[in-house]
Structure 1
Amino acid sequence: MHAEAESALQSFLQTLQVERRASPHTIDNYHRDLKRLRDFCESRQLHQWSELQSADIRQHVAARHRNGIGGKTLQRELSAMRSFFNYLLKKNLVAQNPAKLVQAPKAARKLPKTLDVDQVSGMLDRHADSVLEIRDLAMFELFYSSGLRLSELTALDVADIDLDERLLRVRFGKGGKQRILPVGGKAIQALEQWLAHRPAHDDPALFTSSRGNRLGQRNIQQRLRRWCQKVGLPEHVHPHMLRHSFASHLLESCQDIRAVQELLGHSNIGTTQIYTHLDFQHLAEIYDKTHPRAHKKTR
């Protein structure tokens, strides 16, 4: 493609970072998805973004689908294209958004895997044998206590935790959104123990390595896998499974899907509703016990 088209793409990515405060993970995804679209354009000898038509986008998506790419991934790629062309529209670089009406194949909705309450207790109610394990248990307690995403936990600073009020501040949630979350008593105890052992250094990060650097996502995933092997948990547990378990267990107890939506930081309640499928039997029992017309009254 022409240099102007490449320049427009780079300007869009910079806008995501500076103005929309998108996470590095989101920017990487957008860059990768739009690079594939750029490669498609070059294979079709399309030199400017304005030359793309809806039919071209459909052909690109169809080719990706034939190569085994699932509907969920294609939905994300189309979302990146729509955002990019909306940006180009505002800059008067295109006359239309060719991705606007293109739909991806529907993806089968999979229920998230969760741990039951006993499994979570067995995982967290274990004694730490080292300072690193004290840190790890504080991380795992916080995942389950507040339903954090992995990226949100790694971004936490010591200043984001209020032990007295039992609150934490998520400064870099999905879409750059902030939210305040409660922290449970067990997590508070684990955090107090970690902070008492946390080495003094200049990095403001809440969770740091033995070298004093902020822990990365990959490191946390490895530490969780290692801990689960140690406690004999048969499931392949990843950080998001603790977030799923938080949501499922909370919804089972409170039945307030709006509250769970706020705590999880979901912009769309439809994303939260998937957890209702995990708890339908419990909801049916509540209905039978409480609805005045659930049972025929006997004389």
Structure 2
Amino acid sequence: MSQILRNIFHEYDPIASQLPFLGSPVPILTLTLCYLAFVLIIGPVFMRNRKPFNIKSVILVYNFLQVIVNCWLSYVFVATFYTHRAEVPDFGCLTKFQHSPKLEKLNVYGVYAFYMLKVIDYIETVFFVLRKSFKQVSFLHVYHHIMMSLFLYYLGTYYGSAGQYASVVALNCAVHAFMYTYYFVSALQPNMKLGLWWKKYITILQLSHFVLVLFHHSYPLLFRPKCDFPKGLLWFAVCQALIMLWLFGNFYRRTYMRVGQTGGVVKNGGKSVKNN
């Protein structure tokens, strides 16, 4: 498997590929297959004749830690790039920074931390299953979890740096910090009606995030043709941004805007969907 991937793409990055869960694809592929088997087959069968587990305390701790880690990672990327902005030749074309040890270290270990955060996100779907919240185990939810973790495995193992995706890390973590704050407050006070208005604007924030990602990765394709960042990775980001805008746009329309028989718009307090 490793040789096949090297033939399709290129050699492992000598530094990043030595980190746990990078290098050989066997661990992440095995974990992903186990994840799919549990959330789609084993978990629902196991929970069929059981009451939902009371795991409120575990969820509260999980959501709180997610807020802290996402805030920290977003801050580190923004603060480091701002502090070392003079060492960035072109913010429209972010690549590797061999001339800047600080930025290069952030790019290697920052994208690895982001990758591990997305692997840990698999746990959330397990919570849904154990609580019998099967409606939350949607195609959008499962697809996005798997796409992010497998792609970040490739980015870390073969490119070995965040590069142009540094913007994705900072934006994604900032959005997740707000989202998990909502989840934490909602889990802490399930009957608190004040939290209902958050849902709509969290989804709008998610959609805005994908628009920014789309523009940031389209820019070097249109205006920086000599940018050293791999064109395939740029096109992947553009395509994924369009796919997620479509999926989240459909979710927003179904959840918050339902056209009635009279043509009026009716608000619907459906559940918010994660963006990982």
Normalised TM-score (structure 2):
0.26
More helix by share: 2
